[in-house]
Amino acid sequence: MRLPTHLVIGALLRRVNDSGGLAVVRARGEAQGGAVLILIAEGRGLHAVERMRGLDDRDMLVPAGPSGADSAGIEEYWRNRRRGDPDLWVVELDVPHAERFVAETIL
């Protein structure tokens, strides 16, 4: 059973901010069960990962968005996703080893 999404996002924000990084909610989704899209700032670019449920019923992180997209392409991707799914949470992280924070917190 999954924790409510708003609790998972809150824990991720606290962990990243406590480590000296920056975590910002770009869009709030449905509090109990909204999907989660994480934008990871690396240098001057962005890439995205998403929490998905695998065939084994376990959560995993998968790359999201167009492959090889620049920051503008990732921005356009998440805005289009959000228009299609208003329950989607979008969180941007700027911290070293961001995927580790995501995996340790939301998986």
Q: What is the pLDDT of residues 33-48, one digit of tens each?
A: 889 999 999 877 888 9
Element (H, E) at 102: helix 98-106
Q: What is the pLDDT of residues 56-78, one digit of tens each?
A: 888 889 999 887 778 889 999 99
User: Which domain, by its residues, includes 57?
Assistant: 5-106
Whole-prediction pTM = 0.90
Q: How many domains does the chain have?
A: 1
**Domain harbouring 66, CATH code:** 3.40.1530.20
Amino acid 50 reads E
Question: How many whole angstroms separate alpha carbon 16 and alpha carbon 94?
Answer: 8
Q: At what angle are helices 5-18 and 98-106 packed, to 10 degrees?
A: 140
